[in-house]
Amino acid sequence: MGTYNLPRNVKGEGRILFLFSAKGLITTCIGGAVGLLFYFIFSAIGLSIVGIIITLIFAAIGYAIGMLKVPNANGLEITRKTGGENIDDVIKRYVKFKTNKKKYYVYTKEEK
């Protein structure tokens, strides 16, 4: 008898705590680290609650950058061009475009 590979659903096996992917966890930690700087500044003043809230906001922004995709909506030009792509990829391309000060083209293949 031969052996056969059975297909199985592997989406989500690369996730940590069913909420974070590796990239999402890294960007959340980076956002939290930036927020911790503000926490230490505000806790020195005596406003530690404000520092905690700012830390959570920065961690949420980091999570959104690492995990979410740009919505595919035709109402805005930016969402029409980048719809369905990860937010971090869009940010990387924007930074690369601004630092090189050159034209950067993305070609799409149109089928008729």
What's the average model confidence in pLDDT over 20-49?
85
Share of the chain above pLDDT 90, in %: 0
DSSP letter string, the chain: ----PPP---TTTT-BTTTB-HHHHHHHHHHHHHHHHHHHHHHHHT-HHHHHHHHHHHHHHHHHHHH-B----SSSHHHHHHTTSBHHHHHHHHHHHHHHTS----------
Does the pLDDT at position 41 exceed 80?
Answer: yes
Residue 53 or residue 81, greater confidence: 53
At residue 61, the pLDDT reads 86
Listed by start position, the domains of the chain span 15-68, 72-112
At residue 101, the pLDDT reads 67
